[in-house]
Amino acid sequence: MARVITVNDVLDGHVVLDIECLDRIYLNAYVPILQTSSQVVAFLSGHLGFPFPSPALFRQMGDRFRRSVMSFADANDIRWIRFEKDQAKLEVMAPHLIRQAVADVNANVAQQLNDAAAEINSLRNDLAQVQGDLDSLRIVVIKQDSTISRIAAVNHIPISR
């Protein structure tokens, strides 16, 4: 019996999001079962349930996808930039790219400062612990010196300091 192929098996190593230019994101998909017209008809009618398998359905699906992307951008405060025909896209995008690069650097610096502050606080805690241990040892040494001095005095043994 043949093994059942899952979606993950099909997509493994075949799905890549690649941004090739600033003005478009292409989503290229290779679907082996949609390589002939009869397979496309079967997909549109059988799988998606449309009574008439028309190429216009692909436009509807594409428009629905674009609306979803725009809705996601709006919901997440992602700025949507439309370019005019023959507009120098890099010039339009340069300030945004620079601002993002600076924000990334600032976020990285802020994270490094937070990490350094946490390390400093940890060192301060360690120092306080060591200071407390040292104070405890001083008390022990003072008590031992006092005990030794009394024992020496009772036994008439001279102690040099």
pLDDT digit string (tens) for the chain, length 161 residues: 567 766 666 666 665 555 555 555 555 566 777 778 888 888 888 888 888 888 888 888 888 988 998 899 899 988 888 888 888 888 888 888 888 888 887 778 778 888 888 888 888 888 889 898 888 888 888 888 888 888 988 998 888 76
Which residue has 């937070």 as its token pair?
114
Residue type, 137: L
pLDDT of residue 15: 55
- For 7, the enclosing helix (H) or strand (E) is helix 7-11
Separation of first and last alpha carbons in the chain: 94
Helix count and strand count (H, E) for the chain: 4, 0
pLDDT of residue 75: 93
**Which is nearest to 48 in space by CA: 57, 37, 35?**
57
pLDDT of residue 27: 58
Instruction: Give the separation between CA 116 and CA 128, rounded to whole angstroms.
Output: 18
Assess contact for 31 and 41: CB atoms under 8 A: no
Alpha carbon 150 to chain centroid distance?
A: 67
pLDDT of residue 90: 80
Instruction: Determine how many CB atoms are found less than 10 A away from the CB of residue 44.
Output: 20
Instruction: Give the separation between CA 116 and CA 114, rounded to whole angstroms.
Output: 5
CA Rg value for the chain: 37
How far are the Cα atoms of 30, 42, 132, 146 from residue 34, in angstroms, in the given order? 8, 9, 74, 94
